[in-house]
Amino acid sequence: MEMIKPRTLSGFMELLPDKQLRFDRMADVIRRAYASYGFTPLDTPAIEDAQILLAKGGGDTEKQIYRFQKGDSDLALRFDLTVPLAKYVALHYSELAFPFRRFQISKVYRGERAQRGRFREFYQADIDVIGDGKLDILNEAEIPAVIYKVFSGFGLRRFQIHVNNRKILNGFYAMLGLTEKSGDIMRTVDKLDKIGPDKVRALLLDDCGLLDAQADEILAFISIRGSNAQVINALESYAGRNETFDTGLNELKVVTSNLTAFGMPEENFTVDLTIARGLDYYTGTVYETLLLDHPELGSVCSGGRYDNLAGYYIDKPLPGVGISIGLTRLFYVLDEQGLLNPAIPAAPADALVLPMTQDMGAAIALAEELRSAGLRVQLYSEQKKFKQKMAYANKLGVPFAVLLGEDEIAQGKCSVKEMASGEQRLLNPAEAAGWIGQTLRRAGDLPMILEK
């Protein structure tokens, strides 16, 4: 047989079993959190009509998209989950109840330049709430609460959701007579964390052509820091000069004041006047999420309020608010940095039943009994020596091996060995399930992700 060397395409994540299990568990935390807030799961096709996906057009998207012909059809792989959502809502408009709340955790495709840590196929985990004509501001307070539930579900505590409002920024720049330059200014201000205030000031003067006084005003504005109450207090001093600003400030107050009601600890969110996000899309509240010990990652979860989801497909104003977790990249970096908690077992089974007799009947029955107790159980059915069986258990990384020989069968018991400690106990099946289950529940309470 002529052979071909197997390989996986670069930019495509393919995980070994233990890593895949850890990845799936993170996805499960997201799924459960999203579902607990009444978001409905969607699973739109990965392939869409290319004309529809590219209705908005735009440089990078066109270049990166995977687009191809099949028969007469001009097809493309989705490059995000927002455009398919827009199509879905427009197409099924009359069948949906609004506000329409959906989550989708799916792969998207971008043919970017290959680069370490950059993926061409990656998961996004999105939630969006879409209103029909109107959408209450309270939804903008709920979104960070959902994200808080996700990240605390990962076992993290040192993360912070940054909240801003585009109307505050737009209103502020309008006060300074800088509305037309606001895009350039926001892009410059966005570099503050990386290059510091002096260089930002220089760029504002040289590249954006601002006056000294204007640059000073901007730097003073974006340096507003402190508790959420302090920041809002400072913003009050600008009130009454621009209607958009005032609207934005009111929205921000509603959002921050309700976050606590939604169960979000104050230390996990902060008003941050430097964030702006996608300049031509978001219109109100915007979010970024930072891991406090890993600011180098940038935002791991971002989104905001927009005024019109599906203007390319339907003649109805559909305002919404949404947020997206870039799961593949987040997982990749956490793994790279050794932050996936190794104390949580990631074997395919909780217990491996090792029969020590020729007849497998008792072992099959024992495995079934342990499964009925809710455990994931593999029966080892190969004819191998004891040493090889234990080597397999070790390589698989199962937390427990359950040995069943003549003696155990005669007593109606089994020998349960905890692989990590080497401790072995002679137990009946119910006791075995109890010990294994209890040990695993304890491990399940550990944080999935370490902070160090």
- The whole-angstrom separation of Cα 71 and Cα 68 is 10
Separation CA 250–CA 253 (nearest Å): 5
Window 340-369: residues binding a second copy (CB under 8 A)? 347-349, 352, 360-361, 364-365, 368
The answer to whether residue 445 forms part of the interface with a second copy (CB under 8 A) is no
Asked if residue 42 binds a second copy (CB under 8 A), the reply is yes
Contact flag: residue 334 with a second copy (CB under 8 A)? no
Nearer to a second copy, 192 or 390 (CB): 390
CA distance 409 to 332: 46
| Identity of the residue, 286 or 349, whose beta carbon is nearer to a second copy in the bound complex | 349
Which residues, 289 to 318, sit near a second copy by CB under 8 A?
Answer: 310-315
Please say which residue, 202 or 261, places its beta carbon nearer to a second copy: 261
Helix/strand/coil for 321: strand
Handedness of CA 445, 350, 31, 300 (dihedral sign): positive
Size of the site for a second copy (CB under 8 A): 100
- Asked if 441 interacts with a second copy (CB under 8 A), we say no
For residues 210 and 215, give the distance between their C-alpha atoms in angstroms, rounded to a whole number. Answer: 6
C-alpha 335/C-alpha 25 separation (Å) is: 14
Please report how close the Cβ of residue 227 comes to a second copy at its closest, in angstroms.
20
| 7 makes contact with a second copy (CB under 8 A) | yes
Residue among 5, 116, 194, 387 that touches a second copy (CB under 8 A): 5
Tokens 């808080």 identify what position?
A: 148
**Contacts for 120-124: CB closer than 8 Å, 24+ residues apart:** 120/9, 120/11, 120/12, 121/11, 121/12, 121/13, 121/328, 122/13, 122/326, 122/327, 122/328, 122/329, 123/27, 123/326, 123/327, 123/328, 124/80, 124/81, 124/324, 124/325, 124/326, 124/327
Q: How far is the CB of 283 from a second copy (least distance, A)?
A: 16
Stretch that binds a second copy, among 1-9, 203-211, 297-305, 440-448 (CB under 8 A): 1-9
Range in contact with a second copy (rule: CB under 8 A) among 6-14, 210-218, 244-252, 433-441: 6-14
| Candidate list 152, 274, 378, 415; residue touching a second copy; CB under 8 A | 378
Stretch that binds a second copy, among 65-73, 160-168, 227-235, 280-288 (CB under 8 A): 65-73
> Could you say whether residue 263 binds a second copy (CB under 8 A)?
yes
Concatenated DSSP letters of 382-408: S---HHHHHHHHHHHT-SEEEEE-HHH
Residue 333 binding a second copy, by CB under 8 A: no
**At its nearest, how many Å lie between a second copy and the CB of residue 111?**
5
Range 80-139, binding a second copy (CB under 8 A): 86-88, 90-92, 95-97, 99, 101-102, 107, 109, 111, 120-121, 131, 134-136, 138-139
Q: How far apart are CA 22 and CA 37, in angstroms?
A: 24
Are residues 348 and 21 in contact, defined by beta-carbon separation less than 8 angstroms? yes
How many other CB atoms are found less than 10 A from the CB of residue 265?
A: 11
Smallest separation, CB 311 to a second copy (Å): 5
Considering only 43-51, 274-282, 318-326, 431-439, which stretch makes contact with a second copy by CB under 8 A?
43-51
CA distances from 315 to 85, 86, 247, 305, 353 (A): 16, 12, 26, 19, 61
Between CA 196 and CA 279 the distance in angstroms is 22
Region 201-260 residues binding a second copy, contact defined as CB under 8 A: 258
Can residue 9 be called a binding residue for a second copy (CB under 8 A)?
yes
Taking CB under 8 A as the criterion, the residue among 116, 395, 441, 452 binding a second copy is 395
User: Of the two residues 116 and 395, which places its CB atom closer to a second copy in the complex?
Assistant: 395
∠ CA 270-285-144, rounded to 5°: 55
Scanning 151-159, 392-400, 419-427, 437-445 for contacts with a second copy by CB under 8 A, the matching segment is: 392-400
